[in-house]
Chains A and B, each alone.
Chain A
Amino acid sequence: MSNSKTELQAQAQEGFVPATSITTESLPATPLLYSAYGAVWVILILYVFVLARRLTRVERDLRDVSARIAKR
């Protein structure tokens, strides 16, 4: 058991081979895959949203200060 597992682990490190048939898996992989995929989208959308807010605020402040300088 441990030998075959070691061989499989070594094989997984050297190269990926498409499966010919779907085997039964002990730990469900789908929730892990969806969690990873969801995390990618959440992090990217959150970062884009925060970045857009920061940029809007800085550009608005810059316009205000420039207008105050121009008024003097």
Chain B
Amino acid sequence: MRLATRLLPLLLLVTAVFFIRAPFLIKAAPIESTMGVVQKIFYFHVPAAAATFLGATVCGIASILFLWRRRPMADHVAVSAAELVVTFGVIVLITGPLWARKAWGIWWEWRDVRLTTTFVMWTTFAAYLLLRRFGGPGSNIMAAAFGLFGMALVPIVYQSVSYWNTLHPKATVVRTLPPEMAGPLWWGITAFVLLFTALMIVRVRLEAGRAALEDAYVELED
């Protein structure tokens, strides 16, 4: 954790460079033939979704470690990752409908499995945070089960476009992108993953600080 905190300024600097350069790359990317300029939402909608999936996976793995070993650090990582899933998930759930409005003529379609499973995954992690906030003593164990369930939803959300008939573009779109479209997308994904890492370091530090503060108050009371 100390090494991560020491590397944080450098990480933030690199992340800032990626985020400053991204709009120029998106502007230079070609306009898509069927959807037009609105398809450029793709260059930050997908990276935000990648960060959401990453957060859900980190939360799930940390939850397993916490249930197994009961290490406080695993719990700190799990709750931090869950908060980032909700934050990046909000970006996905706002930018998606803005794209859909133009591409499909509607803001939202509940019968679309990708959209619905994404929303269910987001609500799972929102429930995780609510449980941690209002659940009282022992809520971290029940929340860990939510974290596990949330992680299990990641492959379902990702593969939903392949198994069900949806309006949403298929996951194979990324593999078939021409280089002038793939470049800005991978730049954006790198930027969001770097930001996720930097925010995780700060958020875990906050959680560790909170735990230390609780211990200090107990010591003061004794």
Contacts and interface: CB of A to CB of B under 8 A. Distances in A.
Contacts of B35: 12
B91 to A, nearest CB: 5
Interface string A49-70: 0011011001101100110110
A12 B44 contact: no
Contacts of A35: 98
A32 B38 contact: yes
A30 B169 CA distance: 20
When A and B form their complex, which 3 residue pairs have the shortest distance between CB atoms, in order from nearest? A18-B30, A29-B38, A19-B33
A1 interface: no
A20 interface: yes
Interface residues of B, number: 55
Contacts of B87: 43-44, 47
Contacts of B212: 62
Interface in B183-202: 195, 199, 202
Contact of A29 (B36, B166, B202): B36
Interface residues of A, number: 41
Given A40-B48, A40-B91, A32 B220 contact: no
Of the listed residues A36, A47, A58, the one surrounded by the most CB atoms of chain B closer than 10 A to its CB is A36
Contacts of B30: 18-19
Interface of B: 23, 30-42, 44-45, 48, 87, 90-91, 94-95, 98-99, 101-105, 166-170, 172-173, 176-178, 180-181, 195, 199, 202-203, 205-206, 209-210, 212-213, 216-217, 219-220
Interface of A: 8-9, 11-20, 22-23, 25, 27, 29-30, 32-33, 35-37, 39-40, 43-44, 47-48, 51-52, 54-55, 58-59, 61-62, 65-66, 68-69
Main secondary structure of the interface of A (DSSP, over half): helix
Nearest to B205: A55
Contacts of A66: 216
A29 B36 CA distance: 8
B220 A68 contact: yes
Contacts of B91: 39-40, 43-44
Given A33-B40, A40-B95, A51-B203, 12 more contacts: A8-B34, A9-B167, A12-B169, A13-B166, A15-B173, A19-B36, A29-B37, A30-B37, A32-B98, A32-B102, A51-B202, A58-B209
